[in-house]
Amino acid sequence: MPLDPAVPTLGLNSLGLPKPPSETRVVVAMSGGVDSSVVAAQLAEEGYDVVGVTLQLYDHGAALAKKGACCAGRDIHDARRVAETMGFPHYVLDYETLFRQSVIDEFADSYLAGATPVPCIRCNERVKFRDLLNVAKDLDADCMATGHYIRREVGLLGPELHRAADPARDQSYFLFSTSREQLGYLRFPLGGLASKAETRALAARYGLPVADKPDSQDICFVPSGNYAAVIEKLRPGAAEPGDIVDHEGRVLGRHDGVLRYTVGQRRGLGIGGLDEPLFVVRLDAEKRQVVVGPRDLLRSRQISLREVNWLGDGPLDREHDVLVRVRSTRQPVPALVRPAPDGAEVTLLSPEEGVAPGQACVFYAPEGTRVLGGGWISRAS
């Protein structure tokens, strides 16, 4: 039976296409991890014409020594072994230049500008769901499948994006910028599974060599989560020292680079001996200042968004009641979203802490599981 428990419409196969699996070509984006490997294996077993594609996104030699990251040398090897096990073709595409230009450079520049970027979203948006999707079409594939934990459902007005059945695995925050056109071509077979344990059980059933492989934890090109070291390598001289100041401009100490701090940070500020705990409330890259203040200053109600992707029914031409998630680890909270000249404005019904420029703000329907899009945070107050 298909991975997604939804029953296919009469006359359609398990991917919602009007032809038998044997006549349906599916390109599977394979990272070398257990999730995309299970998707490829399941579809191959169902009789689909599967083509596996893995992207080499950064230096292969450096990647070989990097554990727990997608698209590294070890992972390319693992994806190839899965394809050999299940008997379908597998290709590796060199996307290092595109990935550097579309994702890594912006990541570095955003940090240097005092923002907190989310490169995984940009990778999905600019590489996997744009260029790789075009490759899939060039290969005459009927659709492209990935191992993301999110659901695609067909509503009255066409394909919709919905949160995964397992809240602990839901990846909707990282896929908010998926367009309607892309949704027509993409498939997410794992979205209906109840837990990651089910995925690993399927991998073991197929005898896949990645059945017990650990999940990736870090951003793939940032070893051990050390953002500062990567940015210094990409932008020599970027870690310029400056002042740590309070919200009224009084100098409290020195720092060794704005890029080493994030909004909401409390530890490691080196300004002990004060009457109350202080948090990073703003980063001023132009003045090379880390601005700190009491916890109350971290709370925001108004959020300005740019590059808004709206997936609701009809245009975003009026105010809507929504739930929003301002960080990937937060629970969605009630808010109002309305159009603005440069994107959208969000009003949180209750203030949220640590709303940082560069992060995403993702919209959800007030009831149910539908994802209504989102945008990039440019300002919060």
Indicate which residues carry an active-site annotation: 123, 220
Residue 366 has a CB neighbour count (10 Å cut-off) of 13
Both tokens assigned to 279: 């948090």
Instruction: Specify which residues 309 forms β-bridges with.
Output: 374
Torsion angle (degrees, nearest 10) of CA 86, 92, 93, 94: 160
- Between the CA of residue 62 and those of 108, 163, 259, what are the distances in Å? 19, 35, 23
| Type of residue numbered 374 | G
How many alpha carbons fall within 13 Å on the CB side of residue 211?
13
Q: Which residues pair with 208 in a beta bridge?
A: none
Sign of CA dihedral 210, 214, 217, 219: negative
Where are the extended beta strands (E) located within 142-250? 143-145, 150-155, 158-163, 186-187, 242-246
Look at residues 333, 335, 380, 332 and name the one whose alpha carbon lies nearest to residue 359.
Answer: 380
C-alpha span between 22 and 63 (Å, rounded): 36
Sheet with 251-255, side-by-side order of all strands: 251-255, 242-246, 289-293, 279-284
